[in-house]
Amino acid sequence: MTDHKPYMKPYEEEIKTFSWDISKNELGYKDGDVINIGEYCTDRICRMGKGEKLALIWEGYTGEEKRYTFNDMRQLTNSIAKYLTELGIKPGERVCLFMDKVPELYFGFLGVLKMGAIVQPLFSAFGPESLLTRLQDAGTSAIFTQKKHLPKVRNILKDLPGLNHIIVVDDDGVKPLREKETAFNMDKAERVDSFDIYPSKAETPSVLHYTSGTTGKPKGAQHVHYSLISQYMTAKYVLDIKDDDIYWCTADPGWVTGTSYGIIGAWSNGATQCVLDAGFKSESWYKFIEKHKISMWYSAPTAIRALMKDGTETAKKFDLSSLRHLASVGEPLNAEAVIWSKEAFGIMFHDTFWQTETGCIVVSNYPGMKIKPGSMGKPFPGIEVTVVDLKTSVPIEKKGVVGMIAIKPGWPSMIRTYWNNEITYKSKFQNGWYLCGDRASIDEEGYFWFVGRDDDVINTGGHLVGPFEIESALLEHPAVAESAAIGKPDPINMEVVKAFITLKPGFDQTKMLELEIMNFVRKKLSALAMPQEIEFVDTLPKTRSGKIMRRVLRAQEWGEEIGDISTLENDM
Ligand code: 6R9
C-alpha cells in the first residue's frame, strides 16, 4: 500500500469546504450532461487508461475462480445491453436480476443500465411469493436467472402476463427451455466492443430496490442515474478505496449495499473488487481475505458477531495483515464488536448508517476521525442530518435527547419516489425533512447514537423484513386464524422473526404444526422471513380499532416497558 493518508480531509476541515461539485468535477460531469452509471463504471474507467486493471475477482462455492478486467467488463456489459435491446426491451422497462452472486449478476446490473432499462435486483433466496409480489408491483418485463432458480419463476409465471423474457444464464441444454425462456451464456457471448449507450440524464430512473415497511406490500425505492454523484464520493471518502486497494463488499446486490457500494461506488472509482459466492463460514472468509490480500472490507454487524463467536484465535490462524480499513452497515454495531475487531485485526470497524431510500452513506465514522465505539459517527459532509422531535418534526437543539433521524432533502442519491406509491413516499417528509424512521440522539461532539427503529420493521441480520408480508403468508396456512410477527432478540442476527398465532377451531397446538407453519413461510417467502419461533396464543393484543399491537408483544419479548396501552382493546 503506497499512500495511507485518507482521501477525505480531517472532518472539521472537510465539512467547511465540501460541495457535491467536487464529485461532479472529478467525474467530469456538468449539470445537464448525459450520465449513465453503466458507462461511468466501465467505459470511462477504460478511457482513463485502466482497461487492463482487474475489476472483478470472483470465487464460487466450489472454489472456482474467474477474473475480469475493466475492459472485459466493458465489453461484456455491452454484450448484455445489446442482447436485451435485440430482445425488444425498451428503455424504462423493468429488468429483474434473480441470481446468486455470479458475475452475470454484477455485469447484468450494468448492462441493463447501459441500455436504459430500470434494473430490479432481487435476492435469489426469495421464494415464489416474495418474488411474485415484487415482479407484479414493478410490472417487470424480463428476468435474468439461473437454472436452479428457474422453477420458482415458472411457478408464478401464470400470474405475470407482462413477464415476457426469462433469461437463463447457465443453461446447459440438458432440459429443454419453455416458452418465453431463452439462454444467454455471458462468457461465451460475442464480445461487443462498441454499444450505443442510452443517453440517460440525471433524473432518468436507474435502480428499483424493494424494501419492506410495516404496512402494505414491499415498496419499490426508485433511484436515478444522478445517484452516482453521491455513491462515487462516499465510496471514496468513507470507504477510502484507493487505486491499489483490493476491496470486498460482502453484501448481496439484492440489498442496496450490494449495489451502491458492491457495484456503483466501487467501480466508478476504478477499484478492483472481490466477490465470494458462498455461504458464511468464518474460516472461508478469512481464507478469502488472506488469499486475495483484501485491504478494504465492507461488511455487516451480523457477520462480525458471527466471526466474534468463533473467537480471536480463529482470526489469528490467518495472515490478515493486508487489511487496512474496515466498515460496517445494516444494524447497530455494538461497541464490543468495534473493540473486538481491533483485537482480532489490529484495526477497528467503522460504522456507517444509511438506508435504501438514502442511496448512500449519510452518517459515518471516517478514516482518521476519532471513533467512539457504539456511535454511528457524524453526517457526511454535504448532507444535513439531525434528529427531530417525534411529534412536531422540529430539530432538537438539546444534546443527548432522542428524536427521529431526519435529513434535509436534496442529496444526489435520495430516492425519487416509491414505484406506483407516491403517497407513501410523500408521507416520509414532514416539516421540510425526510424522516428515516429511526431514533437516535446526538452528543456534545456531534456524534450520532442509534436507539432503535420507530416502526415494527424487523431487522434480521441486517435485512429488513416487513411484519405484514410474514403475517399475510401465515394467514394463508389453513390452521392460522390470526397472526402477529415481531423481532425477538438474537445474539447473532440481532433480531429473528417470532410469530404469535391464534389457531382456527379444530387445530391443535402441536410441535408438528409449529414446524409445518415455519416451513410454509420459508418456502413462500425466504429463510430470513421464516419465524424461528411460533407461540400459539388464545388472543392477540389489539387496539380498539382492531389493529394488532405488535409493540406490546415486542416489549414482552425484549423485557421492556410496554408504554401507553390505553388504546388496547383486550387484556393479554
Ligand atoms: C443500507 C441499509 C435501513 C435500516 C435503517 C436502520 C438500519 C442501517 C445502520 C442501521 C443502526 C447502522 N441500519 N445501518 N441501524 N446502525 N449503522 O441497511 O439499508 O436495508 O434500507 O435498511 O437499517 O434501521 O433505517 P436498508
The CATH number that applies at residue 532 is 3.30.300.30
> Would residue 377 count as lying in a domain?
yes
The pLDDT of residue 258 is above 90: yes
Residue 26 has pLDDT above 90, yes or no: yes
Give the per-residue pLDDT at 145.
Answer: 98
Q: What pLDDT shows up at residue 315? A: 97
**Does 430 share its domain with 474?**
no
Task: Work out the number of other CB atoms within 10 angstroms of the CB of residue 13.
Answer: 11
Confidence of residue 167 (pLDDT cuts 50, 70, 90): very high
pLDDT of residue 1: 46
Whether 316 and 209 map to the same domain: the answer is yes
Looking at residue 348, its pLDDT comes to: 97
Is the same domain home to 500 and 404? no
Round to whole Å and give the CA distance between 267 and 232.
9
* Secondary structure E strands in 216-312: 219-224, 246-249, 272-277, 296-299
Q: Give the mean model confidence (pLDDT) for residues 434-455.
A: 93
Report helix, strand and coil shares of the chain as percent, to nearest 5: 30, 25, 45
Q: Looking at the 3D structure of the chain, how many domains does it have?
A: 2
Residue 6 lies in a domain: no
Which residue is associated with the grid cell 396501552?
565
From CA 72, how far away is CA 364, in angstroms rounded? 34
In a domain, residue 450? The reply is: no
Single out the residue in 389, 404, 438 at which a domain terminates: 438
Comparing C-alpha atoms, which of 519, 44, 538 is closest to residue 270?
Answer: 44
Cβ of 11 closer than 6 Å to ligand 1, yes or no, is no
pLDDT at 70: 98
Same domain, 424 and 321: yes
Question: Among 376, 409, 438, which residue terminates a domain?
Answer: 438
The response to whether residue 256 sits with its C-beta less than 6 Å from ligand 1 reads: yes
The residue count of the chain comes to: 572
Q: Where are the beta strands (DSSP E) in 106-241?
A: 118-121, 142-145, 165-168, 181-183, 205-211, 219-224
User: Quick one: pLDDT at residue 550?
Assistant: 86
Q: 236 and 190, same structural domain?
A: yes
- CATH number of 146's domain: 3.40.50.12780
Domain boundary among 407, 438, 469: 438
For residues 58-75, average pLDDT: 97
**For residue 572, is it within any domain?**
no
pLDDT attached to residue 571: 42
Residue 17, CB half-sphere, CA atoms under 13 Å: how many? 8
* Same domain (yes/no): 303, 203: yes
Report the pLDDT value the prediction gives residue 565, as an integer from 0 to 100. Answer: 59
565 against 515, higher pLDDT: 515
- pLDDT given at position 455: 85
Of 263, 361, 404, 464, the residue with max ligand 1 atoms within 8 A of its CB, to mutate for a pocket test, comes to: 464
**Domain span including residue 133:** 11-438
415 lines ligand 1 (CB under 6 A): no
Q: Which of 191, 201, 194, 221 is nearest to 209 (CA)?
A: 221
| Whole-prediction pTM | 0.92
Between the CA of 6 and the centroid of ligand 1 the distance, in Å, is 25
Asked if 413 and 377 sit in the same domain, the reply is yes
- Domain presence at residue 306: yes
Ligand 1 centre distance from Cα of residue 553 (Å): 23
Per-residue pLDDT averaged across 305-318, rounded? 94
Q: Which of 140-149, 193-202, 461-470 has the lowest mean pLDDT?
A: 461-470
Helices (H), ranges, 88-149: 103-114, 128-138
Q: Is 56 in the pocket of ligand 1 (CB under 6 A)?
A: no
Judge whether 349 lies within some domain.
yes
327 lines ligand 1 (CB under 6 A): no
Can you give the pLDDT at residue 572? 37
Atom of ligand 1 nearest to the CA of 351: 17
Distance 329 CA to ligand 1 centre (A): 7
Tell me the C-alpha distance between 513 and 243, whole Å: 55
Q: Are residues 17 and 130 in the same domain?
A: yes
Strands 246-249 and 296-299, sheet pairing: parallel
DSSP 309: H
Residue with cell 401464470: 158
Same domain, 410 and 500: no
CA distances to 327, 380, 427, 570 from 415, in Å = 23, 17, 14, 40
Question: Ligand 1: distance of its center to the CA of 48 in Å?
Answer: 34
For residue 565, being part of any structural domain is answered with no
- Indicate whether 380 belongs to any domain: yes
Set of cell numbers at residue 60:
464460487
Task: Evaluate: CB of 453 within 6 angstroms of ligand 1.
Answer: yes
The residue to mutate among 459, 493, 494, having the most atoms of ligand 1 within 8 angstroms of its beta carbon, is 459
Report in angstroms the alpha-carbon separations of 456 from 364, 432, 465, 510, 556. 24, 24, 9, 28, 14
Per-residue model confidence (pLDDT) at position 472: 84
**Do residues 428 and 538 both lie within one domain?**
no
Q: Where are the beta strands (DSSP E) in 366-493?
A: 378-379, 385-388, 403-407, 417-418, 429-430, 433-442, 448-453, 458-460, 463-465, 480-490
Q: Are residues 432 and 464 in the same domain?
A: no
Mean pLDDT score across all residues of the chain:
94
Same domain, 423 and 523: no
Indicate which atom in ligand 1 lies nearest the CA of residue 453: 24
Amino acid at 147: K
